[in-house]
Amino acid sequence: MEQVLFSQVGEPGGLGLEKTLMFLAVWQGVVQRTWLNGGIVENGMTENNFWLKKIEISVSEAEKRTGRNAMNMQETYTAYLIETRRFTELKHYSDELQSVISHLLRVRARVADRLYGVYKVHGNYGRVFSEWSAIEKEMGDGLQSAGHHMDVYASSIDDILEDEEHYADQLKEYLFYAEALRAVCRKHELMQYDLEMAAQDLASKKQQCEELATGTVRTFSLKGMTTKLFGQETPEQREARIKVLEEQISEGEQQLKSKNLEGREFVKNAWADIERFKEQKNHDLKEALISYAVMQISMCKKGIQVWTNAKECFSKM
């Protein structure tokens, strides 16, 4: 497992989860922001190591300091890593799938157009052979019947291309599938972000509360500055504020828990769906490709028949 980077391994007990979440969310944010910016994501080691240097401690250290919590954090962290990677890969795949199927559909359409041209031009032979046969005594019959076969050949492309349209439709289905995948990834992203924000918010409120309670200022804040400049507030005011904050914190903790649960639930279901879709997709696409082969075979057989007939007519001329 990768080196895990943590700072300030948190307080024992209840705050472990949320602190972990907060840091993971921050870390996730780094990952996602970098990824969104097109940066290379490799186990979170980006060029932007500034963030990461700030939060450095090995897992073993963490273990020493917090015992049980460290294990939880490790597990949680691993889960996050894996989850992130899976969704990243999924997004990547869905983008590729969409791009390649679109391209395929475009080229298939062009190929079909060209094929149409080849078949239809042969139809002109039909007309001219027929007119020519009128002045020929010996060649006349051969020309006439060969001309008929040219007409048959030319008109056979209509059915052939209609069948191919069905194939194209099946491929288009999978464009929608790719779209659906991307939607899942997006939802996951949003949920992660939501969770991250909630955790940050909670953590900052807790910090504020702590500061108010202990009177120490650890982080820069406007309140801190104004207090220094304009004097402290009254103990009653402070108590009131602490009260409010404590309520908010309690609410926040609940929300975070439920959001987290929601997230886990979503991921579990989404992944099950994705697996199912994948099976279905592989099966359907394979069938579609095989049916494409069957279409090609049918087209070839028709071609052989027409040209064999035509050759016979030509030989009799």
Partner 1 sequence: MEGERRASPERSSGLPARGADGESPGGGGPLLRSRGSSALLQVDVLDLDEDEDDLEVFSKDASLMDMNSFSPMMPTSPLSMINQVKFEDEPDLKDLFITVDEPESHVTTIETFITYRIITKTSRGEFDSSDFEVRRRYQDFLWLKGKLEEAHPTLIIPPLPEKFIVRGMVERFNDDFIETRRKALQKFLNRIADHPTLTFNEDFKIFLTVQAWELSSHKKQGPGLLSKMGQTVRAVALSMRGVKSRPQQFMEMNDFIEIFSQKINLIDKISQRIYKEERDYFDEMREYGPIHILWSASEDDLADTLSGVASCIDTCCKATEKRMSGLSEALLPVVHEYVLYSEILMGVMKRRDQIQAELDSKVEALTYKKADADLTGSSESLDCEEVVLEESRFEIYLTEEIGKLEDKVECANNALKADWERWKQNMQNDIKSAFADMAEENIHYYEQCLATWESFLTSQTDLHSEETSEDKP
CA distance 227 to 247: 23
Distance in Å, CB of 268 to partner 1, minimum: 23
* Minimum CB distance to partner 1 smaller for 93 or for 266: 93
Say which amino acid occupies 115.
L
* Minimum CB distance to partner 1 smaller for 6 or for 125: 125
Binding site for partner 1 (CB under 8 A): 93, 96-97, 100-101, 103-104, 107-108, 110-111, 114-115, 117-118, 121-122, 124-125, 128, 131-132, 134-135, 138-139, 142, 146, 282, 285-286, 289-290, 292-294, 296-297, 300-301, 303-304, 307-308, 310-311, 314-315, 317
Tokens at 235, concatenated: 């103990």
Cβ atoms of residues 108 and 97 within 8 Å: no
Distance in Å, CB of 217 to partner 1, minimum: 53
Distance in Å, CB of 129 to partner 1, minimum: 8
Cβ atoms of residues 166 and 187 within 8 Å: no
Distance in Å, CB of 212 to partner 1, minimum: 54
Tokens at 204, concatenated: 């900052």
* Minimum CB distance to partner 1 smaller for 146 or for 249: 146
* Minimum CB distance to partner 1 smaller for 96 or for 239: 96
Distance in Å, CB of 251 to partner 1, minimum: 45
Which own/partner pairs from 187-194 qualify as long-range (CB within 8 Å, at least 24 positions apart)? 187/266, 187/270, 188/87, 188/266, 188/267, 188/270, 189/32, 189/87, 191/259, 191/262, 191/263, 191/266, 192/25, 192/28, 192/32, 192/263, 193/29, 193/32, 194/259
Give residues with Cβ within 8 angstroms of 248, minimum separation 6: 205
* Minimum CB distance to partner 1 smaller for 247 or for 287: 287
